[in-house]
Amino acid sequence: MRDNYLFTSESVSEGHPDKVSDQISDAIVDLMLAKDPESRIACETMTTTQRVVLAGEIRCKPIYDTARWPETHGWAPGARDEIEATVRNVVRDIGYEQDGFHWETLEFENHLHGQSDHIAQGVDANGNKDEGAGDQGIMFGFACDETEELMPAALHYSHRILKRLADDRKSGAAPFLEPDAKSQVSLRYQDGKPAAATAIVVSTQHAKGYDTGAKETELKDYVKRVVGEILPDGLISDETVWHINPTGSFEIGGPDGDAGLTGRKIIVDTYGGAAPHGGGAFSGKDPTKVDRSAAYASRYLAKNIVAAGLAKRCTIQLSYAIGVSEPLSLYVDTHGTGTVDDAALETAIGKITRLGGLTPRGIRTLLGLNKPIYRKTAAYGHFGRKAEGDFFPWEKTDLIDDLKAALG
């Protein structure tokens, strides 16, 4: 590992078109899991100027059942209206009431349909067959000691900058802001630790007139103040390079400025490029899809290893085959920072019985994933968040004693 280097991560706000799509997809997941915890959902969303389109496969008996409602092509009475209302509520909550994208007047299309029987037969438990993975794939989890949240610092600060902008916009503290925004933080590492912020980039959609004169100065001064309050003391200096709305005007934004799709911000969702990513997106998927649940489990394991003081950095990989319950492989890499051998950590993980063998059912049961907890994950990162109640259970550090006991 290099000790001295520059590293950059970015984030995008809840009003970014791709994040609008992610939040809509996860709101549909929550809607169906609230009605049927065993629902199957693979919901993709496309957003563009005054239009939202849903597509994908579902199985949720209170909402969609071809045997019960063949005359409506499987849809329960009122279900289509409930889905549309859910979509519009998400757009309204984000804050879009613009001519080019308005929660009340946008055109909506619903192309969701029933889950493939051939996929279902591989995933469902049947007789002596345990529930299988919803797809093949590789999933990664990561943790490091750069922040209290055990997340890479550049990504963590990028998220927090945009979350603060959104909070101030909604509270009225920054009424000149609009929903779409992006951030980017470049840090210089010295002896493996963040030592200086070399560059800060913030592009935020704004009200008319805040691209020139005194109003532009007000916006830029506000952004600098927010960044200064979020980054730890000592990182920002006179040498820090600032790029605030570097293109000039940013009045047209969100889905009106660029089309959005579910799953296009997977590096923002995970570790900001500081760790590998398996390639599968999370949003819009129920927890039988290991793209989501096994990525959460991998983060859970990596975070507990670092929290236990067993490593300063930890990457974990899991792999699965569709329809097969047991993972095909488990890989641990502490990047030379571990206090025990990486192979010993792999063995220890296998000894912890409450992990359920890291099968899809075991993960869902341990972390309580069959609940409507996903819309909150769809902006500002799936990891590094505070575990509260049913939300973000993979951020708990309650495996420390189990790991130490398994290591003897």
Annotated binding residue 115: yes
User: Is the pLDDT score of 120 beyond 80?
Assistant: no
Average of per-residue pLDDT across 198-204 = 98
Enumerate the active-site residues.
16, 18-19, 44, 57, 182, 250, 258-259, 264-265, 285, 289, 291
- Is residue 381 within 8 A of residue 282, CB to CB? The reply is no
Please give the pLDDT value at position 116. 74
The percent of residues above 90 in pLDDT, for the chain, comes to 92
Annotated binding residue 98: no
Annotated binding residue 16: yes
Residue 9 main-chain phi, psi, to 5 deg: -135, 160
Annotated binding residue 79: no
Please give the pLDDT value at position 123. 67
Q: What is the pLDDT of residues 304-329, one digit of tens each?
A: 999 999 999 999 999 999 889 999 99
Average of per-residue pLDDT across 168-175 = 98
Q: Distances in Å between the alpha carbon of 262 and those of 25, 26, 120, 378? A: 7, 9, 23, 10
Structural domains of the chain, ranges and CATH numbers in brackets: 5-12+153-254 (3.30.300.10), 17-123 (3.30.300.10), 137-145+264-407 (3.30.300.10)
Q: How confident is the model at residue 219 (pLDDT cuts 50, 70, 90)?
A: very high
Annotated binding residue 285: yes
DSSP letters for 12-30: E-TTSHHHHHHHHHHHHHH
Annotated binding residue 18: yes
Annotated binding residue 205: no
- Is the pTM value of this prediction over 0.75? yes
- Burial class from Cβ neighbours inside 10 Å (0-12, 13-18, 19+) for residue 305 reads buried
Other CB atoms within 10 Å distance of the CB of residue 222:
19
